[in-house]
């Protein structure tokens, strides 16, 4: 069996070594395609592989057509909106993710962005503290729960809303449950987004919702750019000069945001949420183990299609 790691944004070396230890132990061959710049490189590399490990790399019908032997693709991470699930199913390819494995890494970055934001991007002027501020977490999944835990360490008041997670579950984590996303935006100083990109959530973070934020409010996005209604957010930031937007995923209109909202807008140059050695090791090795578990033992836990 041949496994390919195809990562436009590479894992740390220690993670690749860890994946190799798993594939070696199973007697599988491991190939590596990193930092590719053309889709053609991916199409060529998948031609003879049985299993594929990816990150935010796009796996669409064309990639699946080119991967004649492919049986399984594992997204080493949480969000699998980069995989065409219907096409995978049509090609008899199992798709999986590795939920939770990079969650702490993403959650820690939320606070990196927040401290940078509330200290005015380290420009020497007097900023504010996180202690005592009210943090609203939108979606209480693996990342949201880690954000809540860290926020409690900062002494923040933590509130969460999740359309699919009952209030009682949220409250057992010592977090107040909001009744709606509107209530969350209305009552919090800072909102951290942890929703996946789905047909329901795309462009759902819009003018009406973000406009509910209190004076001096901050929106932090370590989820997906697609959940933001960009024209709406631009319009709102033009009107509300008190608001800040901090994001780990560059919007399509990054240049416009940067030009119009200097000092209130920050985007990481490259998505950094899951870019830690620990997250790479956790998600990468989980992906390798899931591949061996599936190919050797038929285990399909974490299948998403
Ligand atoms: C995820 O969905 O796991 C995160 O967004 C991390 O994405 P990345 O592996 O592309 O950094």
pLDDT in tens, 82-98: 999 999 999 999 999 99
The percent of residues above 90 in pLDDT, for the chain, comes to 100
Calpha distance 170→283 (Å, rounded): 25
Predicted pLDDT at 60: 98
Q: What is the mean pLDDT of residues 22-51?
A: 98
Give residue 30's pLDDT band: very low, low, confident or very high (50, 70, 90).
very high
- Determine the topology of domain 2-101+275-297 in CATH: Rossmann fold (3.40.50)
Q: How far apart are CA 291 and CA 201, in angstroms?
A: 30
Average pLDDT over residues 252-262: 98
| Of 5, 16, 56, best ligand 1 pocket probe by most atoms within 8 Å of the beta carbon | 56
Q: Rounded CA gap, 201 and 183, in Å?
A: 17
Q: What is the pLDDT of residue 262?
A: 97
Q: Tell me, what's the pLDDT at 278?
A: 98
Measuring CA to CA, how many Å separate 40 from each of 36, 88, 166, 230? 9, 19, 45, 31
Per-residue confidence (pLDDT) for residue 287, from 0 to 100: 99
Strand order in the sheet with 190-193: 176-177, 157-161, 134-138, 190-193, 218-221, 244-247, 265-267
Centroid of ligand 1 to alpha carbon of 238 (angstroms): 30
**Protein residue closest via CA to atom 9 of ligand 1:** 55
- Name the residue of 80, 196, 271, 272 to mutate for ligand 1: max ligand atoms within 8 A of Cβ: 271
Pocket test for ligand 1, best of 102, 108, 110, 221 (most atoms within 8 A of CB): 102
**pLDDT tier, 270 (very low <50, low <70, confident <90, very high otherwise):** very high
Which residue, by CA, sits nearest to atom 10 of ligand 1? 56
C-alpha 78 to ligand 1 mean position (Å): 6
CA–centroid distance, 11 to ligand 1, in Å, is 11
Q: Do domains 2-101+275-297 and 103-267 have the same CATH topology?
A: yes
Second CATH level (architecture) for the domain 103-267: 3-Layer(aba) Sandwich (3.40)
User: 187 by DSSP, 3-state: which?
Assistant: helix
Ligand 1: nearest atom to the Cα of 97 = 3
| Contact (CB, 8 A) for 67 and 44 | no
User: Residue 191's pLDDT is what?
Assistant: 99
Ligand 1 geometric centre to CA of 56 (Å): 6
Per-residue pLDDT tens over the stretch 106-159: 999 999 999 999 999 999 999 999 999 999 999 999 999 999 999 999 999 999
Which residue of 54, 77, 225, 302 sits with most ligand 1 atoms within 8 Å of its CB, as the best mutation to test the pocket?
Answer: 77
CA 87 to ligand 1 centroid distance, Å: 21
Cα of 60 from ligand 1 centre, angstroms: 17
Give the pLDDT confidence score for residue 235 in this predicted structure.
98
Q: What are the extents of the domains in the chain? A: 2-101+275-297, 103-267
CA contacts within 13 A on the Cβ side of 173: 26
Ligand 1 mean position to 7 CA, how many Å? 11
Q: How much distance in Å is there from the Cα of 22 to the middle of ligand 1?
A: 22
| Ligand 1 binding pocket, CB closer than 6 Å | 9, 55-56, 77-79, 102, 271, 273-274
Stretch 47-71: mean pLDDT: 98
Distance 127 CA to ligand 1 centre (A): 30
Give the relative orientation of helices 277-297 and 13-26 as an angle to the nearest 10 degrees.
Answer: 20
Of ligand 1's listed atoms, the one at least distance from the Cα of 271 is 11
User: At 172, is the secondary structure helix, strand, or coil?
Assistant: helix
Atom of ligand 1 nearest to the CA of 223: 5
Round to whole Å and give the CA distance between 259 and 294: 49
- Residues of the chain with pLDDT > 70, as a percent, come to 100
């Amino acid at each position: 069996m041949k496994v390919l790691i195809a990562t436009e944004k590479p894992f740390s070396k220690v993670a690749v070594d860890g994946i190799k230890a798993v594939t070696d132990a199973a007697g599988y061959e491991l190939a590596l395609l990193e930092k590719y710049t053309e889709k053609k490189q991916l199409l060529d590399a998948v031609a003879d592989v049985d299993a594929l490990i990816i990150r935010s790399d796009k796996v669409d019908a064309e990639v699946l057509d080119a991967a004649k032997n492919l049986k399984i693709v594992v997204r080493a991470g949480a969000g699998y909106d980069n995989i065409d699930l219907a096409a995978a199913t049509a090609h008899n390819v199992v798709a999986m993710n590795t939920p939770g494995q990079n969650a702490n890494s993403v959650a820690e970055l939320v606070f990196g962005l927040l401290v940078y934001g509330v200290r005015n991007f380290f420009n020497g002027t007097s900023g504010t503290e996180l202690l005592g501020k009210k943090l609203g977490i939108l979606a209480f999944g693996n990342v949201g729960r880690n954000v809540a835990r860290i926020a409690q360490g900062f002494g923040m008041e933590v509130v969460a809303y999740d359309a699919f997670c009952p209030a009682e579950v949220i409250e057992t984590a010592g977090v107040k449950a909001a009744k709606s996303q509107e209530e969350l935006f209305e009552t919090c100083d800072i909102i951290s987004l942890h929703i996946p990109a789905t047909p329901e959530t795309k462009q759902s973070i819009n003018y009406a919702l973000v406009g509910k934020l209190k004076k001096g409010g901050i929106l932090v996005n370590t989820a997906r750019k697609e959940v933001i209604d960009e024209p709406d957010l631009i319009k709102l930031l033009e009107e509300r000069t008190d608001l800040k937007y901090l994001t780990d995923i560059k919007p399509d209109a990054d240049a416009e945001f940067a030009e119009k909202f200097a000092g209130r807008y920050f985007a990481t140059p490259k998505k950094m949420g899951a870019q830690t050695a620990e997250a790479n090791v956790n998600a990468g090795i989980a992906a390798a183990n899931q591949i061996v578990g599936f190919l050797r033992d038929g285990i399909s836990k974490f299948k998403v299609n």
